[in-house]
Structures are given as structure tokens and as C-alpha cells.
């Protein structure tokens, strides 16, 4: 085991093992879990470019929180964490998560998302098989996945439901689909109590500014071009991250092992509408002379860019009573405010690695036209 273990404190309460808890959704989940339950959290995170311990700074000294820096692909480490901390649940967020990076460098996606998920499933299975009675009954493995495994929709197609056939189009989506199939197989073959959630695009505090919403907020604030891919009419369904965290808590609490649950925000928006809404919010909260919409620049499209994602979240509403609480407009306003109010966090995540990525992804991308030149 060549990981760094930073044991902040330990307690004897019930504990869950979270992977990727220093990333965007994972850190929101850890904070909300500790606020909403009496359990402790063991967070296993490799701290790649996307992992940021500052997201969890408020937990320093908290007896209910333990952080371990390490790799989900390391079977000895994963086995020892199960053995020593005896989680009643594993909530698996750790992944390479950015589609554009998966197009440039797909290998890391296969390693972490496929091999890493396999390693975690296998070590969790060995641990679970050694449990007895009530402990064995109670154990859950929740695999966090994405709507991108279902492929792309046309404008009039019905939204993705849990029985929509898988048709992943990017290396990211394909690697997540592979991990979903492994999760499914572990239930089917070993009867291990695995649950899978497939969620739409999240947004909110702590999102790394390589993704659409934080990238546009920060570029708008700094008067930089706002690079919209293609014609800007690709559609995503957006979910405020706290709603995703609440859905995961609910699935852990009441979900049926072996089942998949689609999670969505009922908020389909074209990218260009998201970007103009951000421009208007930044204008309102940090006014400058000229409207930020002037910064919108249409650039060469992402290869294989999925046209539309939409989620049918009727199953989780019907069976578990979960619905999103946040409307897109209010969630976006909260998100813009959060980035404006946390300049230090922003400064810290924009390391050399971040700047290199921006140069690599956008420098070669040909500008097609600015908003002002569109008819
Ligand atoms: P993120 O990229 O912000 O965070 C990923 C975290 O995983 C980071 O903290 C990183 O350090 C950690 N990690 C990466 N490789 C690791 C490894 N080998 N071992 C241990 N830790 C490792 O991702 P996110 O946006 O928070 O997404 C979390 C999960 O939710 C992912 O599985 C993703 O596929 C899924 N998801 C994300 C979205 C979204 O909109 N962001 C939507 C649906 C599903
Ligand atoms: P992204 O946040 O990367 O999420 P995903 O690809 O997983 O949906 O992108 C959201 C949408 O925004 C997607 O259609 C691609 C588009 N996009 C841009 O137009 N410009 C950008 O600079 C980025 C990062 C994304």
C-alpha cells in the first residue's frame, strides 16, 4: 500500500465509505451526509487534478470524518479500508468525469472508471461475503453513474428511462457504461446488494471550472471569450447538486438492491440559453459597462457531441418519493453567487494543470463566429 493515510479522527459510529469525496459531487455529498445523518464518513480519494481537499476544509477536526489519499485501483488498500473501518455502505463517485478530456486522453478513463470500479466491487464483495446476519443484510454498494451511457436523443424523442438500451458515444460514457455493467453483473451473479443511479448534468458549488457552467461564470467575470461548441443548441438536463445528494441518500435508505434509478432535474436547456442566462446574472451581480453576451464565441464542435440528454425520473419519484427541490433559475443564481463569493477557492483550483488544459482544449479550437455575427 503506497497511499498517504491522513486520519483526522475516528469514531465508533456507523460509517460509510465514499470514493471520490474530494471531487465536485462527492464533496457536496460528504457535507450533506454529515449534516443529515448520524453516520461517519471515510473518504478515499486519489486527489487527481479534480480532487480538492479545500472543498472539505470545514470538516477539519470533525470526529466523524476520515480522509485517505489513495487509488481505487489498489486492491490491498481498498481491502484494508473495508477490513479496518467496516462500512455499512460504499458510495462510489470516484471517476474521470470530463468528456473533453476523455476525447484527448481516453486511457485514464478506462483505468479509473472500469478497472477502478471493478477493484472496488471485488473488494467490497469479499468484505460483504465475510459479514454475518444483520450486517450482511444491511450492506449496500451504490454506484454513481450518468445519463450519458444512454447515448443521444433527437428533439422529439422520449426521455431516457431505466430500460433505455445503452449506447454510449464518448470514451467517458463508454467507460461509465462498462462500470455500470460490472455493477449489474455483481448483483446478478453474486447477489451483492448493488444499486446504480444514472444522473443528468449537475451544477453547483465546488464544480471544477472545466465544465460548462463554472467555466462560463469565471470567463464572463474576467471578460474572456465564452466558447460555445457548435451551434449552441445541444440540450442537457440540469440538476442542482444538492438535489442529487438528497436522491442518493434516499436510494441508500430505501432503494431495492439490483435496481437502477434515473435522477434528473426536469430542466432541459440548450447550451446557448444556459450561457446567456449566466451572462445576465453576472451582469446583474457584477455590472460592467457592456453586456457579457458580447463575449459569446461559437467555436468548433466537440467530436461526436451528443445532441440531447433528457431524464425520465418517474421511477425514483414513484417508488422512493424523491423529486428535485431546486428550480434551474434559482439554482443557477445560487451557483453564480457562490463562485463570485469564493475567489480564493477559484484561485487555488486554477493551478498549472488547469491552465495547461485550457490551453490544450481551446487554443486549437477554431472560432466559428461570435454571437454578434449570428443572424
Ligand atoms: P469530479 O471529476 O469532480 O471528481 C472525481 C473525484 O474522483 C476527484 O476527487 C478525483 O480526485 C477522484 N478520483 C479520480 N480517480 C481516482 C482514483 N483512481 N482513485 C480515487 N479517487 C479518484 O467528478 P464529479 O463531477 O464529482 O462526478 C462524480 C461522479 O458522478 C462520477 O462517477 C461521474 O461519472 C458521476 N456523474 C457526474 C455528473 C456531473 O454532472 N458532474 C453527472 C452524472 C454522474
Ligand atoms: P460539460 O459541462 O462538459 O458536460 P457534458 O459534456 O458531460 O454534458 O458540457 C455541457 C455542454 O456544454 C455540452 O453540450 C458541451 C458544452 N460545452 C460548450 O459548449 N463549451 C465548453 O467550453 C464546454 C466545457 C462545454
* Residue closest by Cα to atom 21 of ligand 2: 212
For position 11, what pLDDT does the model report?
Answer: 43
Instruction: Give the model's pLDDT for residue 210.
Output: 95
Question: Which protein residue's CA is at the shortest distance from atom 28 of ligand 1?
Answer: 93
In short, whether 211's Cβ falls inside 6 Å of ligand 2 is yes
Residue appearing with cell numbers 455502505: 89
pLDDT of 351: 83
Residue of 96, 147, 243, 268 marked active site:
147
* Alpha carbon distances (Å) from 205 to 30, 31, 213, 264, 319: 13, 12, 11, 18, 29
- What one-character DSSP code corresponds to residue 302? P
pLDDT at 104: 96
Ligand 1 atom having least distance to the Cα of 51: 9
- Per-position DSSP letters for 104-167, written without gaps between them: H--HHHIIIIIIIHHHHHHHHHHHHHT--HHHHHH-EEEEEEEGGGG----TTSPPB-TTSPP-
* pTM for this entry: 0.95
Active site residue 344: no
Say if residues 196 and 184 touch (Cβ distance below 8 Å): yes
* Ligand 2 and 201: CB distance under 6 A: yes
Distance 362 CA to ligand 1 centre (A): 22
Angle between helices 241-254 and 24-36 (to 10 degrees): 60
For residue 118, the ligand closest to its alpha carbon is 1
Rounded Cα gap, residues 31 and 27, in angstroms = 6
SS3 content of the chain, % helix, strand, coil (to 5): 45, 20, 35
Q: What is the pLDDT of residue 333?
A: 98
How far is ligand 1, taken at its centre, from the CA of residue 21, in Å?
8
Output the CA 212–ligand 2 centroid distance in Å.
5
Q: What are phi and psi for residue 69, nearest 5 degrees?
A: -85, 120
- The grid coordinates of residue 146 equal 450518468
Neighbours of 106 (CB within 10 A): 16
Cβ of residue 208 lying under 6 Å from some atom of ligand 1: yes
- The number of C-alpha atoms within 13 Å of 254 and in the hemisphere containing its C-beta is 11
Q: pLDDT (tens digit, 0 to 9) for every residue of the chain, 375 residues total?
A: 334 443 333 445 799 999 999 999 999 999 999 999 989 999 999 999 999 999 999 999 999 999 999 999 999 999 999 999 999 999 999 999 999 999 999 999 999 999 999 999 999 999 999 999 999 999 999 999 999 999 999 999 999 999 999 999 999 999 999 999 999 999 999 999 999 999 999 999 999 999 999 999 999 999 999 999 999 999 999 999 999 999 999 999 999 999 999 999 999 999 999 999 999 999 999 999 899 999 999 999 999 999 999 999 999 999 999 999 999 999 999 999 999 999 999 999 888 888 888 889 998 787 886 664 333
Domains of the chain: 4-272+280-370 (3.40.50.720)
Phi, psi of 343, rounded to the nearest 5 degrees: -65, -30
Q: Is 148 designated active site?
A: yes
How far, in Å, is the centroid of ligand 1 from the Cα of 218?
21
pLDDT at 128: 98
Beta strands 140-146 and 194-199 are parallel
Cell matching residue 83: 477490513
Ligand 2 pocket residue status of 101, Cβ below 6 Å: no
pLDDT of 363: 85
**pLDDT for position 7:** 38
CA-closest residue to ligand 1 atom 4: 23
Centroid of ligand 1 to alpha carbon of 237 (angstroms)? 18
Residue 77 CB less than 6 A away from ligand 1: no
Q: Which of 231, 236, 363 lies closest to 301 in space, CA to CA?
A: 231
Nearest CA to ligand 2 atom 5: 99
Q: Which of 127, 172, 261, 309 is catalytic?
A: 172
Amino acid at each position: 500500500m503506497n497511499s498517504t493515510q491522513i486520519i483526522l479522527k475516528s469514531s465508533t459510529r456507523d460509517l460509510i465509505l465514499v470514493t471520490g469525496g474530494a471531487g465536485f459531487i462527492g464533496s457536496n455529498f460528504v457535507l450533506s451526509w454529515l449534516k443529515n445523518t448520524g453516520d461517519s464518513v471515510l473518504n478515499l480519494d486519489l486527489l487527481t487534478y479534480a480532487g480538492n481537499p479545500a472543498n472539505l476544509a470545514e470538516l477539519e477536526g470533525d470526529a466523524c470524518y476520515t480522509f485517505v489519499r489513495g487509488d481505487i485501483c489498489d486492491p490491498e488498500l481498498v481491502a484494508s479500508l473495508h477490513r479496518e473501518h467496516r462500512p455499512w455502505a460504499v458510495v462510489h463517485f470516484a471517476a474521470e468525469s470530463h468528456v473533453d478530456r476523455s476525447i484527448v486522453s481516453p486511457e485514464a478513463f478506462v483505468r479509473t472508471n472500469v478497472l477502478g470500479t471493478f477493484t472496488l466491487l471485488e473488494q467490497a464483495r469479499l468484505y460483504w461475503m465475510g459479514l454475518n446476519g444483520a450486517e450482511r443484510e444491511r450492506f449496500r454498494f451504490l454506484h454513481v453513474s450518468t445519463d450519458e451511457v444512454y447515448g443521444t436523443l433527437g428533439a422529439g424523442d422520449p426521455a431516457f428511462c431505466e430500460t433505455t438500451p445503452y449506447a454510449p458515444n464518448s470514451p467517458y460514457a463508454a467507460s461509465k457504461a462498462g462500470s455500470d455493467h460490472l455493477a449489474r453483473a455483481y448483483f446478478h451473479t453474486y447477489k451483492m446488494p448493488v444499486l446504480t443511479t444514472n444522473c443528468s448534468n449537475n451544477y453547483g458549488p465546488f464544480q471544477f471550472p472545466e465544465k460548462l457552467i463554472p467555466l462560463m461564470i469565471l470567463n464572463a467575470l474576467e471578460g474572456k471569450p465564452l466558447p460555445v461548441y457548435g451551434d449552441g443548441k445541444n440540450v442537457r438536463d440540469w440538476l442542482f447538486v444538492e438535489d442529487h445528494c438528497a436522491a442518493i441518500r434516499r436510494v441508500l435508505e430505501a432503494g431495492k438492491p439490483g435496481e437502477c434509478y434515473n435522477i434528473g432535474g426536469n430542466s432541459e436547456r440548450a447550451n446557448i440559453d444556459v450561457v446567456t442566462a449566466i451572462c445576465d446574472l453576472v451582469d446583474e451581480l457584477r455590472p460592467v459597462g457592456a453586456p457579457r453576451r458580447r463575449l459569446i464565441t461559437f467555436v468548433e464542435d466537440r467530436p461526436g457531441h451528443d445532441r440531447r440528454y433528457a431524464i425520465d425520473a418517474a421511477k425514483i419519484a414513484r417508488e422512493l418519493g424523491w423529486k428535485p427541490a431546486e428550480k434551474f433559475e434559482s439554482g443557477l443564481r445560487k451557483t453564480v453567487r457562490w463562485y463570485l463569493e469564493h475567489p480564493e477557492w477559484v484561485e487555488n483550483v486554477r493551478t498549472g494543470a488547469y491552465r495547461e488544459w485550457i490551453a490544450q482544449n481551446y487554443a486549437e479550437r477554431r472560432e466559428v463566429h461570435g454571437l454578434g455575427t449570428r443572424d
